[in-house]
Structure 1
Amino acid sequence: MNIPSIIPPNERGYAIPNTFVTTEWLAEHITDANVRVVDTDVPEEYAEGHIPGSVNPEDHYYKTSLEERTHIQGPEQFAKTMSDLGIDDDTLVIGYNRGGGVYSFRLMWALHYYGHTNIKVLDGGLEKWKAEGRETTTNPTSAAGTAGTFTPKANTDIFASRDRVLNAIGDDDTILMDVRTDGEWDGSNKRGGPRGGRIPGATHLEWTNFMTDGDIPVLKTADELRKILADVGITPDKNVITY
């Protein structure tokens, strides 16, 4: 795999550039005592090869069970999930995945929701790590019993409740941003649910539009993201609820 020219994350103009760490940084800090690397893909992909020492959640949706797919885990269950991954209140979490950062950012949101903001995403993911010839392994890592206490403190400000979404429909100051696939948007792909379609008045922009093309997808620059969003009417003066 050829390594494309990638603008470093701290040069892309982000408001919060330290959201990311580079592969170089991770290689230097992977054995730090307070660092926990999480492979956020499905267990089948983790088993095919992953960054040494990385752990893998049973369910990267962090839902209440593999059968009940509606709600994020409650505080006690989420705390246990994090503890089983070796994550406690003092852990610096580094998430990575394959094919863009969607699952890593899902972990970031879930941790932020429960008050743990000490998490970053590996820029370029496993693709960049492997393209640079860095080591991978098929040996699983178990971190259960290695962590201290994970204290969940729900931050409801970043959660849009049912009532909040209903109130946003028809509100000129709020945009409901649907980042799912075209098939989910038009109702042809129900993803196992009873109904397809979208929330009335929502704006559609699949999350893949935010990533660069090529073998090593990374988040586009801030200027590119602003233009992509502005083209569908999403501007800084609006409240945005994503789903």
Structure 2
Amino acid sequence: MEGESVTLQTGVTKIQEDDLIMWMCGDYCIAKLNISSQAIFETHCIFRDRLRLDNQTGSLTITNIRTTDSGLYKAQMIGQQVSKKAFNLTVIARLPVPVIASYCPQSPPSSEPSRCVLLCSVVNVGHVTLSWYKGGSLLSSISVSDLSTSLSLPLEVEYQDKNTYSCVLKNPIRNQTTHLDISELCQPCSECVCCCNSTEAVIQLAVSALVGVAMVVVLVYDFRSRRAEQKRRALKSLPDHN
């Protein structure tokens, strides 16, 4: 898990005086233990001061591991015999806590006014499974293998439901759980929010329509007034036959 420490064991209980141990990260040497048990750390990789070598066993410890530390590590032990060990290290990012929020659909079904719609969400996750549980029983789940992905999983419950629900985010190592408080998130009046929003939209539309009609009336009145004024001027300009 990201932020923890990991030790890659050589399997040697105690190195001999003439042994040489080399640690490789991919194709690059990152540390070695020479004949005088002197630990030498190379600066090629991004480990800086996060590497530790055991002078007795040659085991390598990486502290404060990061997701970028994932990869293939190889230990080569050269002495009376030559032996090798390889480790495929996968560092998984820390799990966020799932967030549960009530969700108001744009068109709530009028036939089911007693149901509450909830949404459990997480952001920037990868290689995880997001699930809804009712007690200890799995209700639904969604998995993702990509990195830096956002997930959401809906759930419908009755407003008066007395069962216990929880949203669980899991990866191969850990899990994070958020328990649902129906009395806090599911209020019968919450589904009126959509109605109220719709009513506000209708009122705004009506007001806009009235303003538009008023503007048209003003323009028509102004147009007629100008035409009447032009006619009066035209009549005055005509010669007097008397």
Q: Fold match, TM over 0.5?
A: no
TM-score range, shorter chain: under 0.3
Q: Which has the larger radius of gyration?
A: 2
Greater share of residues in strand: 2
What TM-score do you get using the length of structure 1 for normalisation?
0.17
Relative contact order higher in (CA < 8 Å, ≥ 6 apart): 1
